[in-house]
Amino acid sequence: MAELRRRRLGSQLRRLREAAGKTVEEVAGYLEVHKATVSRVELGQTGIRPRDIAPLLGYYGVADPEAARALEALARDSRKRGWWQQYADTLSPEYADLIALEAEASQIRTFETALVPGLLQTAEYTRAVTRANPSILDEGALEAFAAVRLARQEVLTSPTPVRLSAIIGEAALRTPVGGREVMCEQLEHLLAVAELQNTTVQLLPFEVGAHAGMSGPFVVFSYPLPTAGDVVYLENLTSSLYLDGPDEAERYRTVFENLRSAALNPRDSCDVIRSILAEMRGAS
C-alpha cells in the first residue's frame, strides 16, 4: 500500500516537473539534494516530506492550493496503515494495492463479463465465488476474504462516496453462482445499489455481439487531483497489473465509453435485471 502511494506521488511529481520544463538536476539543486534522491522520489522508491510539497509546486509554477493539499495528503498517507492491513496474512500485496486505489478514488469505472463486480457483490455471492477457487482451501481465509470484500463496499456509502459506473455482461447475471437463491439475493442487491445517486449500473446484453471490451474485464480509477492521472487495474489468475501511463489510461477510458454506449441505459438495465430475477424465482 505505502509503496503504491509513493509510486503514485512520484509519478505525479514527475509529470509536474516535466510540464514545468525542469530537469532532475535543476530540481536537485533547488532542493539541495543529490539528483539520485529526486529520481528515487519520482520512481516511488522513497518518500518526500509533506512540508516540501508546497515549495516544490511553487518552483514548478503550480499555484493551485488544492493540488498542494492533495499531494501533501498523499505524502502523509504513504506512511499510514489502512484498515485492510489487519488482514495482511490473507491478502496478497496486489489485492492490498487494489483496496488502496479504491479507498482514494473519486470515480471508479468497472467492466466485468463473467462476474458481478466486487464492489457490488453480496456476502454469499463472494463466498460462492471464492469457494470455486481451488487455491482457497481454508475456511478462515475464505471468511476473512469475504469480510474484506464487504468492507471495501463502504466507499459507496461513505460521507464522500465514490462515483461508481459499472457495466456488467449479461452472462454474469444469468450464471447462478452459489445456486438460484444466492443469485436472486445478488440480483436484488444490484437493483438496490442501482438506486444510489453515486452509482450507475448498466447491462451489456448478449445481442450486442462483438464489443470493445472483448479483451477482458478492467477497472479505471480516477482521482480528485487532475495531475494524478487515472490508474487501470487488470487481473488474471496469478497476478495483477496496474497501468498509469496517460496513453494507456486514455485507451481504456475510450473502451469504457464505447461499452457504455453499447450497453442498455440504467433504467432498461434494471428492467432486464428484474426480468432475470423473475425467471430465476420461477425456476426455483
Rounded average pLDDT over 100-104: 81
Which of the four pLDDT bands, split at 50, 70 and 90, describes residue 282?
Answer: confident
CATH no., domain 83-283: 3.30.870.10
In the chain, CATH 3.30.870.10 sits at 83-283
Rounded average pLDDT over 265-284: 93
**92, pLDDT greater than 60:** yes
Query: What is the rounded CA–CA span in Å between residue 284 and residue 179?
Result: 9
Query: What is the rounded CA–CA span in Å between residue 99 and residue 272?
Result: 30
pLDDT tens digit sequence for 17-36? 988 999 999 988 988 888 88
**Lowest mean pLDDT: which of 21-30, 141-150, 156-165, 256-265?**
141-150
Which of the four pLDDT bands, split at 50, 70 and 90, describes residue 63?
Answer: confident
Would you tell me how many other CB atoms lie within 10 Å of the CB of residue 176? 15
Query: What is the rounded CA–CA span in Å between residue 47 and residue 58?
Result: 19
**91, pLDDT greater than 70:** no
At residue 191, the pLDDT reads 98
In the chain, CATH 1.10.260.40 sits at 2-77
Q: At CA 27, angle to CA 26 and CA 33, rounded to 5?
A: 105
> Across the chain, what does the average pLDDT equal?
86
At residue 137, the pLDDT reads 59
Q: Side chain identity at 6, as an amino acid letter?
A: R
Structure-model confidence comparison of residues 77 and 251, the more confident one: 251
Query: What is the rounded CA–CA span in Å between residue 122 and residue 125?
Result: 5
pLDDT tens digit sequence for 161-193? 999 999 999 999 999 999 999 999 999 999 999
- Does the structural domain 2-77 have CATH classification 3.90.1580.10? no
Burial class (CB in 10 A: 0-12, 13-18, 19+), 160: exposed
Would you tell me how many other CB atoms lie within 10 Å of the CB of residue 83? 12
At residue 147, the pLDDT reads 85
Instruction: For the sheet with 199-204, list strands across it.
Output: 199-204, 163-169, 107-112, 218-222, 231-235, 240-243
Rounded average pLDDT over 134-157: 81
Phi-psi region of 178 (alpha: psi -120 to 50; beta: other; left: phi over 0): left
Cell (9 digits) for 177: 453462482
Query: What is the rounded CA–CA span in Å between residue 202 and residue 173?
Result: 11
